[in-house]
């Protein structure tokens, strides 16, 4: 079998890219190791308004609930409240299935139960029981990407996210508790009830954290791996990574749908413009991605590193300083542009925040510099 573009992974990034390329007339094969799209899923489904607008396709049928407020609580109990429409909760399983079907409706060939087994040569891959020849190979196969491994990329550091399904009750906002550094637990709306979630490293008691905000009995659990970092490079020759495989997530909330959609558009445009030279097209994708996303990624990484260096007591102090600007934070807060409040804060307040822990500030500056120079 021969194809222009072989995409490994049938999630939002892979299916969005397959749809965009197929629509432009490319011969596309999209392979998914699971027998069914959208199940099991591990995402909270909380999508900000930018993410919703930038999906290649959106259906109101996916919407489970609106998010009209948020409450953030420090380890010591200091709260910050945001009272305005912020996001929607989406049924990610339904969304992924519909995006997959959309790609196939434009002519992409979808292969289920077809894991990527490795490269046979520089332009051939073993997928399921087939050998597929490609001009471009795209890894959209998650944080432990087999495509990335085959291309010689190092393995990404990962975190774990767990949801505990709760029955009964209604909620039109979400409550977030900072547990340690930039790791957190939360409660959110979900089908016929709510979810209690937690995100942290493998040494963190994330399952226990899901019980921190409520001790209600669970009706089931979901869990999955999340990239703990973003790759500084995600192109090698005629192989590109996209979505979680590239670590393309928002640094603070770890949401990946927005960056996945943007990456699909950028990669599809780059391939459409310069497919006669695939390696050049993929380099253009990487360049344009960083050009458009660098500020949010770099600042988010810096803020995250700053928080991860703080003790719980110092995080309480940061919350106390931000509490003084709660009205401004409410005005500027944005689910998809998470560094925006930083630019709205008075300079003297930013200085106070930075001097709360000089070591943490220096570490944050080093992280920012690392991504600036790449």
**Which of 255, 270, 293 represents a domain boundary (last residue)?**
293
Task: Produce one character per residue of 43-62: b if its CB has 16 or more CB atoms within 10 Å, e if not.
Answer: bbbbbbebbbebbbebeeeb
Query: Do 356 and 307 fall into the same domain?
Result: yes
**Which of 266, 293, 320 represents a domain boundary (last residue)?**
293
Query: Do 239 and 263 fall into the same domain?
Result: yes
Query: Do 223 and 158 fall into the same domain?
Result: yes
Residues linked to residue 136 through DSSP beta bridges, in sequence order:
5
Please give the residue range of the domain that contains residue 347: 295-373
Half-sphere exposure of 323 (CA within 13 A, CB side): 14
Question: How many angstroms separate the CA atoms of 226 and 240, rounded?
Answer: 19
Question: How many angstroms separate the CA atoms of 116 and 127, rounded?
Answer: 4
Query: Do 347 and 327 fall into the same domain?
Result: yes
Query: Do 41 and 160 fall into the same domain?
Result: yes
Query: Do 212 and 336 fall into the same domain?
Result: no
Query: Do 283 and 150 fall into the same domain?
Result: yes
CATH of residue 282: 3.50.50.60
Question: How many angstroms separate the CA atoms of 81 and 85, rounded?
Answer: 12
Query: Do 34 and 98 fall into the same domain?
Result: yes
Report whether 207 contacts 160 (CB < 8 A): no
Question: How many angstroms separate the CA atoms of 241 and 264, rounded?
Answer: 10
Closest CA to 75 of 318, 273, 329, 369: 318
Please give the tally of structural domains in the chain. 2
Query: Do 337 and 244 fall into the same domain?
Result: no
Report whether 54 contacts 261 (CB < 8 A): yes
Query: Do 206 and 330 fall into the same domain?
Result: no
The pairing of strands 174-180 and 235-236 is: unpaired
Closest CA to 177 of 205, 203, 196: 196
Question: How many angstroms separate the CA atoms of 10 and 284, rounded?
Answer: 24
pLDDT tens, position by position, for the chain (374 residues)? 999 999 999 999 999 999 999 999 999 999 999 999 988 777 899 999 999 999 999 999 999 999 999 999 999 999 999 999 999 999 999 999 999 999 999 999 999 999 999 999 999 999 999 999 999 999 999 999 999 999 999 999 999 999 999 987 778 999 999 999 999 999 999 988 899 999 999 999 999 999 888 888 888 888 899 999 999 999 999 999 999 999 999 999 999 999 999 999 999 999 999 999 999 999 999 999 999 999 999 999 999 999 999 999 999 999 999 999 999 999 999 999 999 998 999 999 999 999 999 999 999 999 999 888 76
Q: Which helix (H) or strand (E) holds 150?
A: helix 146-151
**Which of 293, 313, 331 represents a domain boundary (last residue)?**
293
Query: Do 214 and 316 fall into the same domain?
Result: no
Query: Do 137 and 31 fall into the same domain?
Result: yes
């Amino acid at each position: 079998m021969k194809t222009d573009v072989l995409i490994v992974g049938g999630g939002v990034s892979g299916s969005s890219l397959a749809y965009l390329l197929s629509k432009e007339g490319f011969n596309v094969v999209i392979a998914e190791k699971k027998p069914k799209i959208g199940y099991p899923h591990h995402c909270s489904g909380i999508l900000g308004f930018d993410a919703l607008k930038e999906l290649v396709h959106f259906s109101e049928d996916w919407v489970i609930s609106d998010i009209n407020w948020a409450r953030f609580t420090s380890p010591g109990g200091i709260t910050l409240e945001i009272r305005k429409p912020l996001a929607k909760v989406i049924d990610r399983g339904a969304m992924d299935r519909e995006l997959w079907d959309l790609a196939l409706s434009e002519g992409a060939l979808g292969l289920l139960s077809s894991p990527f087994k490795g490269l046979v040569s520089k332009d051939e891959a073993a997928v399921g029981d087939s050998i597929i020849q490609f001009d471009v190979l795209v890894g959209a196969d998650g944080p432990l990407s087999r495509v990335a491994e085959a291309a010689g990329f190092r393995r990404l550091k990962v975190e774990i996210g767990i949801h505990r399904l709760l029955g009964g009750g209604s909620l039109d906002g979400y409550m977030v508790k900072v547990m340690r550094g930039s790791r957190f637990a939360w409660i959110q709306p979900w089908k016929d009830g709510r979810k209690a979630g937690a995100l942290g490293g493998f040494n963190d008691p994330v399952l226990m954290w899901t019980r921190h905000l409520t001790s209600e009995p669970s009706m089931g659990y979901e869990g999955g791996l999340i990239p703990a970092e973003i790759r500084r490079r995600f192109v090698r020759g005629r192989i590109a990574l996209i979505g979680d495989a590239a670590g393309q997530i928002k640094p603070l909330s770890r949401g990946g749908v927005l960056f996945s959609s943007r990456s699909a558009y950028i990669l599809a445009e780059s391939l459409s413009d310069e497919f006669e030279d695939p390696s050049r097209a993929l380099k253009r994708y990487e360049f344009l991605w960083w050009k458009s996303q660098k500020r949010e990624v770099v600042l988010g990484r810096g803020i995250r590193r700053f928080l991860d260096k703080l003790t719980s007591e110092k995080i309480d102090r940061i919350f106390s300083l931000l509490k003084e600007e709660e009205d401004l934070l409410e005005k500027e807060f944005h689910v998809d542009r998470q560094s925006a409040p930083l630019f709205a804060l008075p300079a003297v307040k930013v200085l106070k925040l930075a001097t709360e822990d000089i070591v943490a500030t220096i570490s944050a500056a080093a992280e920012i510099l690392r991504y600036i120079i790449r």
